[in-house]
Amino acid sequence: MKLIIEEHPYEKKYVHDILSEIDALGNADGYVSINYVGYFYSHAARDCVFILPKVLLEDKDNLELVFGKYKPEEIIDLEKEGNPMTDEEKSFIYEFAVWIYRAITVYHNDKNTDSSIVYHQTILEVNKGQRHLSNTFLDIILSLIDFNRENQNFFFYILRNIHSGLNKINWTRTIAHSTAIVQKNVPIYINPVNKKRQINFDEELLIIFFSILNYINGHYGFDTPINCNFPLITGEKFKAYLGGLGIIRLRQIKYKYFSDKSLYIWDLCFAFFDRAKKVVVETGQKDYLLVKNFNIVFEAMIDELVGDPRDTMPSGLKDQDDGKRIDHLYSYRGLMNYDEDKPVYYIGDSKYYKRNNPVGKNSVYKQFTYARNVIQWNLNLFMSDVDDEEIVNDKKNFGHVAKLRDDETEGYNIIPNFFISATMDKDLNYSRDGIDRTEKRRDRFTSSQFQNRLFDRDTLLVCHYDVNFLYVLALYAKDDSSEKRSWKEKVRKLFREEIQNVLKEKYTFYAMEAHPHIDGHKYLYEHFQDLLGKVYKPFDTHNTILSLALESDEKFKQENTQLVSKLKEYFYIEECPLGSDPVAAIEVAKTNNPVSTIMTADADQENILIIRTKDNKETRRFTVGFVSGNYELLNPPTLDLFKIKYVMPIFNEGIRDYYEVGASSFEIKDSQPAIVFHFIAKHSIGNFHPLSNNRLKEYSVMSLSEILDSV
């Protein structure tokens, strides 16, 4: 078996004969590379040639090394004496070739893929012709499958012979060894002797053969029919056969067979368990299964395992109007949600590089452009004057999607955006998906026009993750819908949580809700520039709660502290990590601010009496004074007592507290007219608010909103 690595530049002297029958690419320096993955039979080399993906390569000290330690030129001849690869690594290569074959086959059979990049001609067949220099594990598997498909009549013949004559009465032995009861001159034998079933070695060989096919179907995803009712060898027992028992048992029964086909089955089964065994391969065919631009296959693999089907996507979204095409797109729970299934579109781009190669600037720029196009597409759905036929159709079919822009805050929802790169498990393990932040130099990219504005339309984030190429290769090649569906749900959940974690590292998130006496919408309108891009309303169920996101960088510390302090005068506000329960956070805020929790004045009713304190004694009564009790206002102006529900004193040229009136009355105190207010509770508007230019008049009756506007 010859081994070539995709896109690696070889000196011509190493590969001239091997690649003479295929269109390799040469350069002026005398190097040759090939842009295919798959296998073909080389007549010049008289051997099978496997071209394996470039993900096997790792850059070290400006050299491309297989597994990070072998020059590709050193391992071209896999079975040549002196090849530095270990037996375990060679075994991995043999099995890896099978998975590559299966992945290309699944891709080729998928009607939704570009099959024009696949080049296929009849596969190799083990036969009684001239022996090749070497044989591959893939040859053995495909030959087992072919023999099963083409020899159903042979199996039927064997099965018929195995079962013929069983359980028939042996009259000679019955008469000789049994006592008959004679009834009406007719002998009746109560215990007849049947023909005994002997050990049948044809049956045992077929059990081993079909058990191998059953294992191939389950492990590699082949779909080979097994038309027999034998008790197959499975589970731990078959693992024992793989571990050496299969070879031992086949050797024990080898000399029980004489027909050519039985011997041929034995040879195939033995070759399967002993992968080092050479089997006879016919050389008269031109055999190949190759795919050009394997990055397209990798993209199809990831899209099958992560994305939504193209026919379920809006026509103007995945294939965008500017000619750009998103690799992977799917609808899933948004990053801001807690208990609501409010989906957004996730944007992904698969990167099929050599190991440790960084993402280029052009790729990052395109990913940001994809996100901007998705935002614009979403906004178009909510525009009433759009004449574009495609948009009108999308509005009809996808008008239920949530609007990315919140009209009250003019903040934009976060668009999840990611790269996913192929890497290799360090232990060459197929069972670990290896999904994690990339090991490359940068695992995230950001783009923004303004700092500290997460919810701004132009603030975009792209995260970068690695996936074990071996895991997704095997999962895709098996083509098991249940396994694929299970992993898709797992990886989507993981991507959501990981992107949330990246955002939580960069931003501090708060839940905020306006105090009962505050018109939150009016406050947002009046402080628009201070809050633009920092606040967003993500919760449909709890639509009075906003999310505040502030960048955690030290350079924004003072700015953020001042903003939060100011907001606390008008809002309950509490840290609420992304994805956490905002209601619970608001309850904590109310508990931590017990005075604020009883601000009961209606913001728009003129029912608060403003009183400017006359001296320090009166000021002290309010600053230290009562929560409940009577307050006497001497020589009052003409007032409508039925209208007054609260009294707010002005002291030290500012305001802070106000008092709820339970009852009031006109009385004479010290020969002076007076109004006596009976206070039943003390309330607060938060911090002390100094007044500018004495804008509040003494003895004014105003609404709380008017008072706060005067601050």
- Where residue 669 sits, what CATH number does that domain have? 2.40.450
pLDDT at position 410: 93
The whole-angstrom separation of Cα 297 and Cα 37 is 10
At residue 74 the predicted structure's pLDDT band, cuts being 50, 70 and 90, is very high
DSSP for 135-158? Answer: --HHHHHHHHHHHHHH-HHHHHHH
Asked if residues 622 and 647 have their Cβ atoms less than 8 Å apart, the reply is: no
Closest by alpha carbon to 257, among 275, 269, 272?
A: 269
Dihedral (CA of 130, 135, 139, 140) sign: positive
pLDDT tens column, 537-582 = 988 778 889 999 999 999 999 999 999 988 988 889 999 998 888 9
pLDDT tens column, 373-394 = 999 888 888 876 666 777 777 7
Dihedral (CA of 277, 279, 283, 288) sign: negative
Phi-psi region of 30 (alpha: psi -120 to 50; beta: other; left: phi over 0): left
At residue 98 the predicted structure's pLDDT band, cuts being 50, 70 and 90, is confident
Kindly state whether residues 407 and 543 are assigned to the same domain: no
Kindly state whether residues 36 and 170 are assigned to the same domain: no
pLDDT at position 178: 82
Strands 343-351 and 417-423: parallel
pLDDT at position 595: 42
At residue 306 the predicted structure's pLDDT band, cuts being 50, 70 and 90, is very high
320 assigned to some structural domain: yes
Domain boundary among 596, 629, 660: 596
Tell me the range of 240-244, 519-523, 629-633, 642-646 where mean pLDDT is highest: 240-244
Domain boundary among 569, 596, 623: 596
Q: How many CB atoms lie within 10 A of CB 383?
A: 10
Kindly state whether residues 39 and 151 are assigned to the same domain: no
139 assigned to some structural domain: no
Kindly state whether residues 324 and 460 are assigned to the same domain: yes
Closest by alpha carbon to 98, among 215, 222, 201?
A: 222
Kindly state whether residues 268 and 303 are assigned to the same domain: no
Kindly state whether residues 336 and 478 are assigned to the same domain: yes
Asked whether the predicted pLDDT for residue 119 surpasses 60, the reply is yes
Closest by alpha carbon to 283, among 147, 119, 132?
A: 132
* CA dist 267 → 148, 452, 610, 687 (Å): 14, 70, 104, 90
Out of 188-197, 229-238, 282-291, which region has the weakest mean confidence (pLDDT)? 282-291
Kindly state whether residues 569 and 449 are assigned to the same domain: no
Out of 100-114, 555-569, 681-695, which region has the weakest mean confidence (pLDDT)? 681-695
Asked if residues 423 and 469 have their Cβ atoms less than 8 Å apart, the reply is: yes
User: Across 554-599, where does the E strand assignment appear?
Assistant: 571-575
At residue 476 the predicted structure's pLDDT band, cuts being 50, 70 and 90, is very high
Which position has the higher pLDDT, 132 or 466?
466
pTM of this structure = 0.71
Kindly state whether residues 303 and 440 are assigned to the same domain: yes
**Which SS3 state, helix, strand or coil, does residue 307 take?**
coil
Domain boundary among 450, 478, 500: 500
pLDDT at position 287: 64
The whole-angstrom separation of Cα 275 and Cα 272 is 6
674 assigned to some structural domain: yes
At residue 302 the predicted structure's pLDDT band, cuts being 50, 70 and 90, is very high
Element (DSSP H or E) covering residue 188: strand 186-189
Place of tokens 């569906």: 485
DSSP for 216-250? Answer: HHHHH--------------HHHHHHIIIIIHHHHH
At residue 282 the predicted structure's pLDDT band, cuts being 50, 70 and 90, is very low
137 assigned to some structural domain: no
Q: What is the mean pLDDT of residues 682-692?
A: 73
pLDDT at position 88: 87
Kindly state whether residues 50 and 111 are assigned to the same domain: yes
Tell me the range of 8-17, 526-535, 597-606, 696-705 where mean pLDDT is highest: 526-535
Closest by alpha carbon to 352, among 706, 698, 702, 7?
A: 7
**Which SS3 state, helix, strand or coil, does residue 41 take?**
strand
Q: What is the mean pLDDT of residues 83-91?
A: 88
The amino acid at residue 643 is K
Kindly state whether residues 581 and 615 are assigned to the same domain: no
Asked whether the predicted pLDDT for residue 698 surpasses 50, the reply is yes
Place of tokens 């901007």: 372
Asked if residues 101 and 145 have their Cβ atoms less than 8 Å apart, the reply is: no
pLDDT at position 213: 92
pLDDT at position 708: 74
130 assigned to some structural domain: no
The whole-angstrom separation of Cα 671 and Cα 664 is 19
Kindly state whether residues 552 and 617 are assigned to the same domain: no
Kindly state whether residues 333 and 457 are assigned to the same domain: yes
Q: What is the mean pLDDT of residues 343-354?
A: 89
Asked whether the predicted pLDDT for residue 493 surpasses 80, the reply is yes
Sheet-wide strand order for 31-33? 10-11, 31-33, 25-26
Out of 347-351, 360-364, 526-530, 622-626, which region has the weakest mean confidence (pLDDT)? 622-626
- Where residue 548 sits, what CATH number does that domain have? 3.30.70
What is the C-alpha R_g of the chain?
A: 40
465 assigned to some structural domain: yes
The whole-angstrom separation of Cα 556 and Cα 551 is 7
Element (DSSP H or E) covering residue 436: strand 436-437
The mean pLDDT of the chain is: 82
135 assigned to some structural domain: no
pLDDT tens column, 497-539 = 999 999 999 999 999 998 876 778 888 988 899 999 999 998 8
At residue 108 the predicted structure's pLDDT band, cuts being 50, 70 and 90, is confident
As for how many domains the chain has, the answer is 5
Tell me the residue range of the domain where 456 lies: 294-500
pLDDT at position 127: 46
pLDDT at position 555: 94
Two tokens, residue 663: 């009852």
138 assigned to some structural domain: no
pLDDT at position 696: 65
Burial of residue 181, with CB atoms counted within 10 A of its CB: 0-12 exposed, 13-18 middle, 19 or more buried: exposed
